[in-house]
A and B are shown apart, each in its own frame.
Chain A
Amino acid sequence: MIDYSVTGYNIMLEPVCTLDGHQETVWCVAWNPSGTLLASSSSDKTIRIWGQEGDHWVCKSVLMEGHQRTIRSVAWSPCGNYLASASFDATTGIWSRKEGEFECIATLEGHENEVKSVAWAPSGSLLATCSRDKSVWIWEVTEDEEYECASVLSSHTQDVKYVTWHPTKEMLASCSYDDTIKLYKEEIDDWTCCNTLQSHQSTVWKVCFDKTGSRLLSCGDDKTLKIWQEYPPGNPEGVVTVGSDSAWKCVCTLSGYFNRTVYNVDWCHTSGLIATAGGDDAICVFREEECSDKNQPSFSLVTTVAKAHLQDVNCVAWNPKTPGLLASCSDDRHIKLWQITGL
């Protein structure tokens, strides 16, 4: 008897390779915009750059001596020539890539303690960082590669875990230990918080936009995934908005799939697949069901790798060019590459 009840699809997440090198927990993996390089950051205070040589993925360089403590996350600039690193040493590093070599060209200081996340705006002229000091900083990149603080946003009441930019607009999202997600935009001369999204019951670990930027995806300590839909002013659904700002509403909560914290989630901009990284050592992949209602979308689990890693999975990242190529990293010190098959 054929039974689709568990996955419904023959989609599989197949291991491609394991990348060894980091000496301690790997916190973050990030693809460069062309999808040829993968950057990873670790408690061993290094960043590693991985690339393909023939059929093999190898470590191309190790960036050391940039930080004194754990490097919590890394982010590529939209042009792919810069890499930013956020560290527990309270600084953000900017690395420039020239002829394949990386060089630390700037160290941004200002946060009082651990910097948790860093993100480049799509224009490449703005950078956002967030920290346990409860603040989100926006930095302006000047012509001569100087970084100046443009704004300090103190809307969160706790530790800010993650920041991310809207794929097209200059709009910023952050999520926090205070269980909320906040959205920011520039008004006249300064940045302000324009929206606070509440629904999670505990720390929100990660937030990300879909390809169009009209939806948000978040995950957290309450062991759920949430999908948020944008409702611009004058929307046909009649969702109330304030002024020129859109309203964001949680339209879907995926729960029951996870028995420990969901640390990370990534929304593939080529395939629309959602991958999650969890404290249960598993990676799950979800897909929106066809003919799902925009205002009440339904998502289904297409595949699970239960023991994807030996310990907590900290981060997952879809390759921006190769459809279905996924990178993951874990406390077990490994990075793994996976390929979706049977799509």
Chain B
Amino acid sequence: MSSRLDNANPIIYQSQEEREILPEDEDDNIEDKVDSREVFDLIRCINDPEHPLTLEELNVVENDRVHVNNEENRVQVEFTPTIPHCSMATLIGLSIRVKLLRSLPSRFKVDVVITPGSHASEDAVNKQLADKERVAAALENSHLLEVVNQCLSKRKNG
């Protein structure tokens, strides 16, 4: 069984505390801009397809690798597979992309890419993830959709 996993015993990282709610967050008259922490909060709890751990716990996503420009409607997320030959890289990228598709206002242009230099097939994976037609088709594939949805579901064991 262990041989099935690319990386059976990965390093586990500490999760960040929940974002603190400030008084201005509860003031109806103040507009809150979308910032990198907000986007990070959307993706940090995505489950890894192999481990019962979140992408944050595996350090696949980090707050510092989420770039947001609220005015220009741009979001860029870099993710770092745990090992350079991780066969799940595309699936992880797809999960991040889908989560953001479902959660972010449609005005945002979202790019999900592998952290430069962290994966053997970086360019190929990035090209696939950027192809919206293939992403759309993937989400009509019920098997693949189920796998992605599993990554995006709340785990039973939290």
* Bound-state Cα–Cα, A327 to B16, Å: 48
* Bound-state Cα–Cα, A43 to B135, Å: 12
Docked-complex contact B136 and A310, CB < 8 angstroms: no
Q: Mark A190-219, 1 if CB is under 8 A from B, else 0.
A: 000000000000110000000000000000
Interface extent on A, as a size class?
A: 20 to 34
Docked-complex contact A161 and B133, CB < 8 angstroms: yes
* Bound-state Cα–Cα, A265 to B65, Å: 34
> In this complex, what residue of B is CB-closest to A45?
B140
Docked-complex contact A72 and B133, CB < 8 angstroms: yes
Chain A residues with CB under 8 Å of B132's CB are: 279, 312
* Bound-state Cα–Cα, A261 to B136, Å: 16
Describe A's contact surface by its main secondary structure: loop
Q: Is A91 interfacial (CB-CB < 8 Å)? A: no
* Bound-state Cα–Cα, A279 to B110, Å: 11
Docked-complex contact B106 and A203, CB < 8 angstroms: no
Docked-complex contact B127 and A116, CB < 8 angstroms: no
From 110 to 143 in chain B, residues with beta carbon under 8 angstroms from any chain A beta carbon are: 127, 130-134, 136-137, 140
**B140 CB, nearest partner CB in chain A, Å:** 5
**B143 CB, nearest partner CB in chain A, Å:** 13
Known contacts A202-B127, A203-B127, A221-B130: A43-B136 contact under CB 8 Å: yes
Q: Is B109 interfacial (CB-CB < 8 Å)? A: yes
* Bound-state Cα–Cα, A273 to B107, Å: 29
**A277 CB, nearest partner CB in chain B, Å:** 13
Docked-complex contact A116 and B130, CB < 8 angstroms: no
Docked-complex contact B106 and A310, CB < 8 angstroms: yes
Docked-complex contact A310 and B107, CB < 8 angstroms: yes
* Bound-state Cα–Cα, A293 to B140, Å: 47
Chain A residues with CB under 8 Å of B106's CB are: 310-311, 331-332
* Bound-state Cα–Cα, A132 to B133, Å: 10
Chosen A-B contacts, 7 in total, with CB atoms closer than 8 Å, are A43-B136, A161-B133, A177-B127, A203-B131, A310-B106, A331-B106, A332-B106
By a beta-carbon cutoff of 8 Å, the part of chain B in contact with chain A is 106-107, 109, 127, 130-134, 136-137, 140
By a beta-carbon cutoff of 8 Å, the part of chain A in contact with chain B is 25, 43, 69-70, 72, 88, 113-114, 116, 132, 159, 161, 177, 202-203, 221, 260-261, 279-280, 310-312, 331-332
**Which 3 residue pairs are nearest across A and B when measured between Cβ atoms?**
A69-B140, A114-B137, A88-B137
- Beyond the given A203-B131, A260-B109, could you list 10 further A-B residue pairs with CB under 8 A, ordered by the A residue number? A70-B140, A159-B131, A203-B127, A221-B127, A221-B131, A279-B109, A279-B132, A310-B107, A311-B106, A331-B106
